[in-house]
Chains A and B, each alone.
Chain A
Amino acid sequence: MNHGITPNEWERHLNGTLTTTEQERIDAHLIGCLPCWDFYQRMMTLNAKLQEAGEMKRDAFALSDERLRAGLLNVFTRIHNAETDEPATPLQTRLNELEAVMSVFCGEQAAVNAMQAAAAHSPAKSLKQITHENWEPFLQRLIAIAQVLCGRTGARWLLESGRL
C-alpha cells in the first residue's frame, strides 16, 4: 500500500511536521481511502501506546539528582572539549586514566571529587593547572585520598597507573 504517500510522509504526518499543503493532500486522501484510514488509525493508537509506555518507563527509572548531575557534567565536559577542539595532551590522558581507575573502585562521582580535591590541595590548585612540574605533589595528594577510599593496595595501583 503506497497510494502516493511515502513512509517518510506517514511519519511526518503522525508527528505533525508536514507542511500545510502536504497535510491537506494526505487528509483529503484519508477521507476517501478506507485501507489508508485504517492504517492511520492503527498507527495513531500505536503511537499513543508507545508514548504512554515511554512516560511510564521514564517515571519508573527516574534519575537521582546525583546521577543527573554527574551525567550532565560529563555531557558539558565533552561539549567543552569538542568546542575547544584541542587534542588531549599526555598529561590529560594520564588524568583520564587515573579517573577511570578510581571510578571502577569507588564510583564516578567519588573519582571526580577526589581528583578535584587532590588538585585543590596541591600547588596546581585546579585540574586545569596541572603540569609536569606540579604533577608529583598532586599525585601524592591523590594517593593520600585513595588510601582512605581504596586502601593500600588500591592506592598503590593508582600510584603505578599515575606515574609519568
Chain B
Amino acid sequence: MRKFRITPQLVIIGIVLHLGLRLVTLLSVGLGNASQRGFVLDAMRVVGSFCAYTVALLVCWRIADEYREAKWMRLAWLLLTLNAGLSLLRPFARPLPFWGQPVDLYHTPPEYALLLHYILVPANFCLLLGLLVIWWAYHEIGLGFRLCRRDAVAIAGLLGIMLAIFVFSDLLTEAKAYYRATRVLQIVAQVQMFLIAAASLLLHRLSIQMGKGRLAIVLRWMTVYALWRLGMVLTVSLARHLFPHQLQLIIDLAEFGWQLAPWLFALAVAYRAELTDWAAERLARIRSERPVLAS
C-alpha cells in the first residue's frame, strides 16, 4: 500500500480549493460585499489557515527529525515547527462573537488584536531565528558561499522602507489600538517582518550560488513566503492610504493574499519533504540493487 505523503502537489490542491472556494463565494455576492457571506468566509479562513499550518507543522517536525545528526539544522527546523505551531493558533484568536462579521484588521476588538500579536510576535521570532540558523548552518560547513554587493543593497533598501514605515506608522492597523502593548507589539512585528525578509534574501543568495538543485527550490519558496508577507503589509497599508473610499474592496482582495501566506510556507516545507521522500526512494533502490550493502 502506498504511504500517504504531504507533497507540493497536495499543497497546491489545498491552495486552489481554499482560494477558489473563497473567490466563488465572494463573486456570488460581489466584491466588496463580503459581509453578506461573513460566516461562510470566516469559516473558510479558519479552516484553510488551520489546514495550511497543520501541514507545515507536520512537515517541519518530520524534517527536524531528518536533521538529527546536524545540530544547527535541527534547531532551525524545530524553530520553524514552533512557528507553525504558534501560527496554528492565529485563526482561532478571533473571538466567537465576532465570527461571521467582516474581517477588518483595522477595526478589531482590542482584546483580539492584543491576543493576535501575543501569538504573532513569538511566531515571527521563531521564523526569523529559524531562517538565520539555516543560513548559519550552511555558512559553517565552509562551502564558500558569499553575499554579493547587490544583496547588501537589497537589505539596505529593506531597512530604508522599514524606517519609512516608522515615519508613516499611522498607516499600520494597530496605530490607534486601545492597548499600548498592541501598538508596541505591532511595531515589533513589523521590524521582525523586515528582518525575516532580509534573512530570506540571504537564503535566496545561497540558492543561486548552489546552482540548480532541488534544495534551491525550497530556499526560494521560503524567500517568496517571507517577501509575500512583507509585500502584503506594505501594499495593503499603501492601498488603504491611497484609496480610502474603497476599504471593503481592499480588505476583500487583501484577504486572498493573507490567506495564501500560510499555504506558501506549507509549500516551501512540502518541497523539502519531497526531497527526503525522493532520497529515500533512491536509497531503497540502491539497497535493493546491492543487497549485501543493505545489511
Contact = CB atoms under 8 A, between A and B. Distances in A.
A141 to B, nearest CB: 10
Interface in A108-164: 108-111, 113-114, 117, 121, 144-145, 147-157, 160-161, 163
A108 B66 contact: no
A99 B208 CA distance: 18
A103 B279 contact: no
Contacts of A114: 141, 143
Given A105-B213, A153-B283, A160 B293 contact: yes
Interface string B187-217: 0000000000000000000011111111110
Contacts of A161: 286
Interface bracket on B: 35 or more
A54 to B, nearest CB: 24
B141 A150 contact: no
Interface in B264-295: 275-276, 279-280, 282-283, 286-287, 290, 293
A113 B214 contact: no
B141 A160 contact: no
B144 interface: yes
B224 interface: no
B261 interface: no
B142 A117 contact: yes
Interface stretch (B69-77, B78-86, B93-101, B178-186): B69-77
Contact of A157 (B209, B213, B215, B282): B282
Contact of B210 (A106, A117, A148, A151): A106
Contacts, number: 109
Given A107-B211, A117-B143, A156 B283 contact: yes
Contacts of B211: 66-67, 70, 103, 107-111
Interface string A74-114: 00000000000000000000000000010111111111011
A155 B208 CA distance: 22
Interface residues of A, number: 34
A163 B295 CA distance: 13
Contacts of B207: 107
A111 to B, nearest CB: 8
Contacts of B210: 106-107, 109-110
A127 to B, nearest CB: 14
A153 B208 contact: no
B67 interface: yes
B138 A148 contact: yes
Contacts of A149: 138, 141, 215
A8 interface: no
A51 B208 CA distance: 30
A151 B208 contact: no
B216 A107 contact: yes
15 contacts: A105-B214, A105-B279, A107-B207, A107-B210, A107-B213, A110-B211, A113-B145, A114-B143, A147-B70, A148-B72, A149-B215, A152-B68, A157-B283, A160-B293, A161-B286
Interface of A: 64, 66-67, 70, 101, 103-111, 113-114, 117, 121, 144-145, 147-157, 160-161, 163
Q: In the A-B complex, list the 5 residue pairs whose CB atoms are closest, starting with the nearest.
A: A107-B213, A107-B210, A107-B211, A108-B211, A109-B211
